[in-house]
């Protein structure tokens, strides 16, 4: 399993073509505006508040590149959904996400984060359908799993899998930034990707 020893914030941009010059594999995170992308990054790298976290959804407003172990980038994409921003700003975010996902030659996997408490919403389902259509490799990660009792977690994972049309594949990974549940399996998954 990968051990994260060094993390460096490289840059923020709204244009995938303006990404870091260093050619490293990229693992990106995407999800609704309050799903916990920044919190997940902070837990994975064991650095509190390294990626910006806010109680107000929508604080990630650009494509943020974090270089890990001088080996790969964790890429935090803007959230989608109900962040209180203008239509113009939402359009900028959507175009930034779409441009990155359709064009980044170094993207090896997209982690699609889904809120375990509320399940997959329409925009999550649409995203997954679009990813299948354009052929982007992705993995579902169910966040905030601490808000679901342990006895109900397997059923919740199956439910989200069904909502996303993934019933024939492996169950999603699960994760909690609050109690660190799922950190090691997720790091193991990243290690396998980077082999």
Tell me how far apart the alpha carbons of residues 87 and 77 are, in angstroms, rounded to a whole number: 18
What predicted TM-score, i.e. pTM, was given to this entire model?
0.91
Domain of 74, in residue numbers: 7-193
**pLDDT of 65-99, one tens digit each?**
999 999 999 999 988 865 566 777 777 878 888 99
Cβ contact 125:81 at 8 Å: no
Q: In the chain, how many domains are there? A: 1
| CATH number of the domain bearing residue 74 | 3.40.50.300
Residue 2 lies in a domain: no
* 138 domain residue, yes or no: yes
Read off the pLDDT of residues 151-173 as tens digits, 9 standing for 90 and up: 999 999 989 999 998 765 667 99
Instruction: Say if 72 falls within a structural domain.
Output: yes
């Amino acid at each position: 399993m990968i051990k994260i020893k060094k993390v460096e914030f490289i840059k923020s941009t709204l244009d995938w073509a303006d990404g870091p010059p260093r050619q490293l594999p990229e693992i990106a995170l995407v999800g609704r505006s309050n799903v916990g992308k920044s919190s997940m990054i902070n837990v994975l790298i064991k650095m509190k508040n390294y990626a910006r976290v806010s109680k107000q959804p929508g604080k990630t407003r650009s494509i943020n590149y974090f270089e890990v172990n001088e080996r790969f980038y964790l890429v935090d994409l803007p959230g989608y959904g109900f962040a209180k921003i203008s239509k113009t700003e939402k359009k900028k975010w959507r175009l930034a996400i779409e441009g990155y996902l359709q064009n980044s030659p170094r993207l090896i996997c997209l982690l699609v984060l889904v809120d375990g408490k509320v399940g997959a919403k329409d925009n999550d389902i649409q995203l997954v359908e679009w990813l299948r259509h354009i052929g982007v490799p992705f993995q579902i990660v169910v966040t905030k799993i601490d808000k679901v009792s342990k006895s109900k977690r397997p059923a919740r994972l199956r439910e989200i899998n069904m909502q996303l049309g993934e019933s024939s594949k492996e169950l999603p990974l699960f994760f909690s930034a609050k109690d660190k549940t799922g950190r090691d399996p997720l790091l193991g998954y990243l290690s396998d990707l980077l082999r």
